[in-house]
Structure 1
Amino acid sequence: MMLTVAAAVVLREGRLLVVSKQAAPDVFYLPGGKLEPGETHEQAMRREVHEELGVVVREAEHFLDVEAPAAIERVPMSLTVFLAEIDGEPARQAELAALDWVADATRPGLGPAIRDHVIPALVDAGLLAGSS
């Protein structure tokens, strides 16, 4: 089984927004989730960001495709990542336990796709400072 997931990179003041679910409060990943039947990756990302954070994605641009183990389900995952500009202040909604802003991959609990793929790609693209 391969999970198909779409997620948003939301950046602010050199930091990346990560979230955790109540079912696994110590595991942090990007806001987003699984596609519903008939949804595109971008539609799923926009819906999930609104459901999880109570904000609207104003602009979205495809950034990265990653195959990595799903942090919670521990099965193979195909992750499509969008750079997202949002309107409003993100706040925990729905099933979220926490949200945090990280500058690099050193935060404990980051999911493998975020730690090993997304953050390094953001650093390489000059969008995140990373560790110094």
Structure 2
Amino acid sequence: MRPQDQTFDRNTNAMQKVGAVIIHDRKIMVVRKKNEEQLECIMPGGRMELGESQLECLTRELAEELNVRLLREEYIGTYKDIAVFEGVPLVIHAYLAIIEGDPMPANEIKEFLWIDSAFEQDGIRVGSIMARKVIPEMKRRDIID
């Protein structure tokens, strides 16, 4: 079974999310949530709903958070850590996402930023999975600066 087709895993006690890695001009998109005390940026995406596939979740979350349509996706990997906002175990399935439309923050998203691998030098705080796993992988693939 392709990762995209896998559904919510009832056998894990971790929060399950799907995240989009959106690239533009060799930079990666990160988002900030409204009403959060933390300043960390995270990848767009969100929690999987019961019975929902990873692809369905990714498509829904991109429409809800950024008002864009998912055209294509490529599975990057599944990562585990502690959720930056909720402080609970997290499993996130990350996908390189090709989108259609101009992103517009919506729902719980306050803003989005385009960053490169030098984000720390720019004073930008990024969630641990994004900072330690996804951004280095995109740099290794020579997709971002």
Q: TM-score by structure 2 length?
A: 0.84
- 1:15 to partner: Cα distance: 0.5
| Alignment: residue pair count | 129
Identical-pair percentage: 26
Correspondence for 2:124 = 108
- Structure 2 residue runs without a partner (length 5+): 1-12
Runs of 4+ residues over 3 Å off in structure 1 = none
Deviation sequence 1:25-62 (CA, Å, 0-9, x none): 62210100000111111110110011000000111111
1:23 CA displacement: 2.5
Counterpart check, 1:125 vs 2:141: yes
Structure 1 position 5 matched with structure 2 position 17: yes
AA aligned to 2:57 is A
Matching of residue 83 in structure 1 with residue 96 in structure 2: yes
> Which residue pairs with 2:79 in the alignment?
66
Give, in whole Å, the separation in 1 of the partners of 2:40 and 2:110: 10
Query: What amino acid sits opposite 2:44 in the alignment?
Result: P
Deviation at 1:17, TM superposition (A): 0.5
| C-alpha separation in 2, matches of 1:18 and 1:35 | 19
Report what 2:3 is aligned to. none
The separation in 1 between residues aligned to 2:19 and 2:114, in whole angstroms, is: 16
How far apart are the structure 1 equivalents of 2:75 and 2:45?
Answer: 14
The 5 A counterparts of 1:40-51 are 40-51=53-64
Q: Gaps spanning 5+ residues in structure 1: where?
A: none
The residue type paired with residue 108 of structure 1 is I
> What's 1:95 paired with?
108
One-letter amino acid of the structure 1 residue matched with residue 141 of structure 2: A
Tell me the C-alpha RMSD between the 2 structures. 1.2
